[in-house]
């Protein structure tokens, strides 16, 4: 009996843990023109120098304009498209 009670408690912990993880992993897209320097440096593949270049070239109105910034290649561009919006 104690075994089944422990198994039931474990199942609840796993279920609620998975539910929390699913809701806490929701990501929001950053606006490339209004995001802070700190937010930009948290993007994948964007370091301090590239974040400064993005800020220096604002306002950015298209993906093509962003692509012209030195250091942003095809791979980085794909990563950014998943996490950034351009308005």
Place of tokens 């120098």: 49
Q: Assign 80 a pLDDT band (cuts: 50, 70, 90).
A: very high
**Cα dihedral value 40, 48, 58, 27, nearest 10:** -10
The pTM score is 0.67
- Residue 16 has phi, psi (to 5 degrees) of -70, -30
Q: Assign 28 a pLDDT band (cuts: 50, 70, 90).
A: confident
**Domain spanning 30-85: CATH 1.10.760.10:** no
Report helix, strand or coil for 31: strand
CA distance 3 to 59: 62
Domain definitions of the chain by residue range: 30-85
């Amino acid at each position: 009996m104690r075994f089944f009670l422990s198994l039931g408690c474990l199942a609840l912990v796993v279920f609620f843990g998975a539910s929390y993880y699913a809701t806490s992993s929701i990501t929001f897209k950053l606006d490339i023109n209004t995001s802070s320097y700190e937010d930009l440096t948290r993007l994948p593949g964007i370091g301090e120098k590239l974040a400064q270049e993005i800020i220096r070239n604002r306002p950015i109105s298209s993906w093509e304009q962003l692509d012209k910034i030195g250091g942003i290649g095809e791979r980085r561009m794909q990563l950014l498209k998943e996490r950034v919006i351009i308005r």
